[in-house]
Structures are given as structure tokens and as C-alpha cells.
């Protein structure tokens, strides 16, 4: 099932927002080059929202200890994180962001 999140224009490029779908917090990321990505909004190293981290075109960096995660796969790309975070499929339709999820 796809859930509408917001308009693409509601998220500033180079930033992320936190949304809740069911009980799961998801970081919706707008990269500097205009891609929209969605990852679970919890660093795999601790109880920190990745949406409060630093965004580039390929990664999001946790502000707490600097672990970086791939926006495409959720894989940890640097220590201290070892575990990946879940990635969610994003659909853009008429300028709106939808997340494909069975979390609801």
C-alpha cells in the first residue's frame, strides 16, 4: 500500500523530515541533487533520528557519532554502525511523495 507523505517541495533540498507510518518512524530525504529517499528513521548504532543528520547525494550521516548510511541500500558505510537500516520504496506522483509500505 502506498501512503502519501507530502509534496516534494515541502522538503528543502539537502534535508530530511521524520514521519510516522503506523508505529514506524521513517526519514524522508531530499538530496541536494533532487532525489527523494526513505529510510527507517533510527540509526542502527543508537536511538538517534537519522532525519536530524547530514544529507548528501548518496548518504545520510548520523550526527551523534558519524556513521554514514547508503540512501539506496541502507548499508552502513562507516563505523561505528555495523547494521543496515531498512530502505522504503518511494513513488513520486504529480509532485507528491508516496511511500510503498506494508507498515500500516
List 43, 71, 87, 99, residue binding ligand FES (CB under 6 A): 43
Region from 12-20, 26-34, 40-48, 83-91 binding ligand FES, contact rule CB under 6 A: 40-48
Rg (CA), the chain: 13
d(CA 104, CA 45): 25
Q: Exposure string (b/e) for 62-80, b if CB count within 10 Å is 16 or more?
A: bebeebbbbbeebebeeee
The sign one gets for the Cα dihedral 36, 39, 41, 45 is: negative
Please tell me whether residue 67 binds ligand FES under the rule CB under 6 A.
yes
User: In this complex, which beta carbon is closest to ligand FES, that of residue 77 or of residue 92?
Assistant: 77
Please tell me whether residue 62 binds ligand FES under the rule CB under 6 A.
yes
Cell numbers linked to 40: 527507517
Please tell me whether residue 45 binds ligand FES under the rule CB under 6 A.
yes
Please tell me whether residue 64 binds ligand FES under the rule CB under 6 A.
yes
Please tell me whether residue 84 binds ligand FES under the rule CB under 6 A.
no
Binding positions for ligand FES, rule: CB under 6 A = 43, 45-46, 48, 62, 64-65, 67, 80-81
Amino acid at each position: 500500500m502506498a501512503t502519501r507523505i507530502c509534496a516534494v517541495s515541502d522538503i528543502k533540498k539537502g534535508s530530511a523530515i521524520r514521519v510516522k507510518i503506523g508505529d514506524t518512524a521513517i526519514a524522508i530525504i531530499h538530496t541536494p541533487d533532487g532525489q527523494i529517499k526513505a529510510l527507517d528513521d533510527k540509526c542502527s548504532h543508537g536511538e538517534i533520528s537519522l532525519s536530524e543528520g547530514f544529507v548528501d547525494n548518496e548518504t545520510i550521516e548520523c550526527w551523534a557519532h558519524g556513521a554514514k548510511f547508503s540512501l539506496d541500500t541502507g548499508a552502513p558505510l562507516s563505523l561505528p554502525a555495523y547494521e543496515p537500516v531498512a530502505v522504503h520504496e518511494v513513488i513520486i506522483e504529480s509532485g507528491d511523495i508516496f511511500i510503498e509500505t506494508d507498515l500500516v
